[in-house]
């Protein structure tokens, strides 16, 4: 629960700041700052300690808002970009790269959505015949904090009007109320991330159960939303072939295949600096006891393990979901 909110002075009177503050019923400690970096970017912060009680930081995003994504992480498009209206996530997954990426565990929310839209608009106007893919769940969960952020309410109508822009909302949440109230739009994919239930219970802290997420996904599919399935990272635990088989079967029996836009999967992978920070702060976690190797600055499983896991996953996915395109997010 949020008890402290830091607000950049320059956006204290922004309409969205006021809307966000109005959503908190409990008394908050509000602290004004000149720039979010005074709190978020300072060195020597302890991510794990902060994660126990993160604050919310409201700020204005200055500078570049769209970032290119390598084609190996695409879901069928050639022009792929991510944008981050928020940094950090309300969940606490032990493998999450965010704990190695940022100095702070506080939730940083950029309230100037309009400026993100201007950059998206500029990009899609470059060539109206091209399809541009925009991913909103790279630095945060797209839906989990929507009750506070109002992200869906602002961005969906924009994408509805711009058909050559495709939005991927990536989530581990079951916060779908806003989507259920909204007419489905063809150029929006609601992508759910999964690991098998027994793994999720152990290492995806605060994340809704697999059962509840499948239920949410089914509700959306039933009213016409396009669904994405994301198995990234794949966790090669004991009996992993069996437990992933069970997960895929469970999903396939609940979601009609024609509702599935795409499936993607990938191994755990971290840039060197991030990997070092994460292993230092999580030295006791079994997750990092896997045989990682440094491949051109990216730490991932060794090639032998990776090939073995990939083959099994592909085979199992094709067993239950024959028609949906499958993408392997490779290092």
Partner 1 sequence: MSDKKEINIVIAMKREAISLINYWNLKENKKNIFSNKENKINLIISGIGKKKAEKATFYIAENTNKENFFLNIGIAGHKNFKLGDIILISKVTDNKKKISWYPSLLWKTKIKKSSLTTVNFPKIRYNTNDLYDMEASGFFKAARSFVGPEKVQCLKIISDNKDSSILNISSKKIEDWVLSKTVIINKLVNEFLKI
Query: Considering beta carbons, is residue 253 or 283 the nearer one to partner 1?
Result: 283
> What phi, psi does 282 have (nearest 5°)?
-125, 40
CB of 89 to partner 1, least distance (A): 18
CB 143, CB 103: distance < 8 Å: no
Query: Considering beta carbons, is residue 49 or 180 the nearer one to partner 1?
Result: 49
Report the distance separating Cα 5 and Cα 235, nearest Å: 35
* CB-CB neighbours of 45 under 10 Å: 16
CB 220, CB 190: distance < 8 Å: yes
CB of 4 to partner 1, least distance (A): 5
Task: Note the Cα 7 to chain centre separation in Å.
Answer: 24
Query: Considering beta carbons, is residue 31 or 62 the nearer one to partner 1?
Result: 31
Report the distance separating Cα 323 and Cα 294, nearest Å: 35
CB of 56 to partner 1, least distance (A): 12
Report the distance separating Cα 135 and Cα 83, nearest Å: 6
Q: How many positions of this chain bind partner 1 (CB under 8 A)?
A: 19
Q: Which of 9, 18, 53, 273 binds partner 1 (CB under 8 A)?
A: 53
CB of 54 to partner 1, least distance (A): 9
CB 102, CB 126: distance < 8 Å: no
Query: Considering beta carbons, is residue 99 or 193 the nearer one to partner 1?
Result: 99
Binding mask 12-51 for partner 1 (x = CB under 8 A): -----------------x-x-xx---xx--xxxxx--xx-
* Closest of 231, 245, 236, 238 to residue 304, by C-alpha: 236
- Which strands sit side by side in the sheet containing 107-110, from one edge to the other? 29-33, 4-8, 56-59, 107-110, 86-87
Quick check: 6 binds partner 1 (CB under 8 A)? Answer: yes
CB of 25 to partner 1, least distance (A): 18
CB of 40 to partner 1, least distance (A): 10
Q: Which of 52, 64, 181, 323 binds partner 1 (CB under 8 A)?
A: 52
Query: Which residues, in sequence order, are bridge partners of residue 87?
Result: 108
Query: Considering beta carbons, is residue 230 or 277 the nearer one to partner 1?
Result: 277
DSSP 8-state class, residue 207? P
Quick check: 10 binds partner 1 (CB under 8 A)? Answer: no
For helices 210-222 and 240-254, what crossing angle results, to 10°? 30
Quick check: 55 binds partner 1 (CB under 8 A)? Answer: yes
CB of 65 to partner 1, least distance (A): 25
Binding site for partner 1 (CB under 8 A): 3-4, 6, 29, 31, 33-34, 38-39, 42-46, 49-50, 52-53, 55
């Amino acid at each position: 629960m949020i008890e402290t909110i830091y607000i950049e002075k320059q956006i204290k009177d922004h309409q969205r700041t006021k809307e966000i503050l109005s959503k908190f019923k409990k008394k908050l400690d509000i602290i004004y700052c000149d720039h979010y970096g005074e709190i978020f970017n300072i060195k020597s912060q302890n991510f794990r300690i902060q994660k126990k009680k993160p604050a919310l930081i409201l700020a204005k995003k200055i500078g570049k808002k769209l970032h290119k994504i390598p084609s190996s992480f695409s879901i069928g498009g050639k022009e792929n970009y991510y944008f981050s209206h928020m940094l950090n996530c309300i969940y606490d997954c032990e493998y999450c790269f965010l704990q190695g990426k940022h100095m702070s565990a506080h939730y940083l929310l950029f309230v100037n959505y309009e400026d993100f839209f201007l950059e998206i608009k500029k990009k899609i106007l470059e060539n109206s015949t091209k399809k541009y893919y925009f991913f909103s769940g790279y630095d945060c969960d797209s839906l989990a904090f929507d009750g506070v952020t109002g992200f869906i309410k602002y961005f969906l109508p924009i994408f509805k009007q711009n058909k050559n822009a495709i939005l991927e909302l990536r989530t581990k949440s079951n916060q779908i109320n806003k989507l259920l109230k909204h007419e489905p739009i063809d150029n929006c994919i609601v992508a759910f991330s999964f690991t098998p239930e027994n793994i999720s219970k152990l290492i995806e802290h605060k994340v809704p159960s697999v059962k509840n997420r499948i239920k949410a996904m089914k509700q959306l599919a039933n009213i016409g939303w396009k669904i994405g399935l994301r198995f990234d990272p794949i966790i090669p635990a004991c009996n992993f072939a069996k437990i992933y088989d069970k997960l895929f079967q469970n999903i396939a029996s609940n979601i009609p295949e024609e509702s599935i836009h795409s499936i993607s999967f990938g191994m755990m992978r971290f840039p060197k600096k991030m990997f070092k920070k994460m292993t230092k702060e999580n030295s006791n976690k079994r997750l990092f006891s896997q045989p990682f190797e440094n491949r051109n600055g990216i730490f991932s499983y060794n090639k032998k393990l990776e090939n073995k896991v990939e083959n099994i996953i592909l085979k199992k996915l094709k067993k239950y979901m024959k028609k949906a395109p499958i993408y392997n997010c490779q290092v």
